[in-house]
Structure 1
Amino acid sequence: MTFLSNQRAWRIVLFALLGLLAFVAYWPQPVDQPVQGALTAVFKFLHRHGIPHWVDYELLEASANIALFIPIGFASCLAFPKKSFWLIGAFGLGISACLELGQLLCLHNRFPSPLDLVTNTSGAVIGAALAAVVLRSRVPSPCGDGTRKLERRLSR
């Protein structure tokens, strides 16, 4: 049995990733607050030197949210390989909704956002798709039938 096909190991990895994600999401202050001034200066510099104005903090934040959930989707797909692809996305949405609700109810310095639900879920789906691509030649179906359908569409 290889590590990629070891469901138990991937469930441990998933649990650790969820713990890390909760740590970041429930940090009392926004995690980027200490570097907010530096980020503003960097974006001003980039905009003065020809980078389009749509490349801004909001794009960086959305990209970071996607990047945070890619490992969640990847590990979920490998931890529960018989689950369909859409279910991995729903799991990502559920985790994101719990995190956003917790921020809304418990953290007055954090601001939940519907866009976070979309970007986080997208990250989980991208992670599951990456797991499918990585394992395509090694394991018949890493995420159920939904992944095979997606793989067929992507390979066209």
Structure 2
Amino acid sequence: MDMQPVPAARRPRRHLLALGLAAYAVLLAGVVFWPQPVDRGLRGYLDQALELFHSLGAPGWVDYTLVEAVANVALFFPAGLLLAARLTPRWCWLAAVVGLCVSAGIEAAQALLLPGRYATPHDVMANGLGAALGTIAVYAWRSRGTKRRPARRQPPRKAAAGS
């Protein structure tokens, strides 16, 4: 990574980001390595909510698979966001790559170690998308001040007295 010295004003923010990443990692580990699917007890409620949405006119493609995919994207969005914000602008793209690799590792561990969990390539893609979106959000945030602003018009100069 960039080994440039970090200005003193940015150090507290970097420490907070590191603390946020650590807290997120603990939460993520709890969710992904829980022995049973975390939505197991909620599946009936989710099915009822989906039936209600369908009765109100929601299209049929709004189903459990979509909800699960959106949840996976949302689960890894903070990973991309926090890691990209922690990295220097030159290297923040790595957050998306790291998110995808971590997701693949998690799914492999679930497949090998947790028989009650279902590891799928679909989850890896959704998690990777979440990390990429978090990374893009950091790029967007950082670039908000770099847009070209119109030049300010200078007031006309007054002619010097006696010229």
User: 1:80 maps to what in 2?
Assistant: 87
TM-score (norm 1): 0.80
User: 1:63 maps to what in 2?
Assistant: 70
Amino acid at match of 2:76: F
User: 2:41 maps to what in 1?
Assistant: 34
1:41-87 CA distances to partner (integer Å, 9 max, x unpaired)?
Answer: 111222222110100111111001101111110111111123152x2
- Indicate if the aligned counterparts of 2:54 and 2:60 stay in contact, CA closer than 8 A: yes
Hey, which bits of structure 1, 4+ residues long, moved more than 6 A?
A: none
Number of aligned positions between the proteins? 138
TM-score (norm 2): 0.77
Larger fraction in helix: 1
Classify the secondary structure of the residue corresponding to 1:6.
helix
Structure 2, unmatched stretches of 5+, are 1-8, 148-163
Amino acid at match of 1:96: S
Cα offset, 1:2, TM superposition: 5.0
C-alpha RMSD of matched pairs (Å):
2.0
Amino acid at match of 1:24: V
1:11 aligns with 2:18: yes
Amino acid at match of 1:34: G
Structure 1, unmatched stretches of 5+, are 141-150, 152-156
Identity %: 34
Amino acid at match of 2:142: L
User: 2:153 maps to what in 1?
Assistant: none
Mapped to 2, the partners of 1:71 and 1:84 lie a distance apart of: 14
In the alignment, which of 110, 116, 140 is matched to residue 117 of structure 2? Answer: 110
Mapped to 1, the partners of 2:129 and 2:137 lie a distance apart of: 12
- Indicate if the aligned counterparts of 1:62 and 1:119 stay in contact, CA closer than 8 A: yes
1:94 aligns with 2:94: no
Classify the secondary structure of the residue corresponding to 1:72.
helix
Cα offset, 1:9, TM superposition: 2.6
Mapped to 1, the partners of 2:37 and 2:127 lie a distance apart of: 17
- Indicate if the aligned counterparts of 1:9 and 1:79 stay in contact, CA closer than 8 A: no
Amino acid at match of 1:83: W
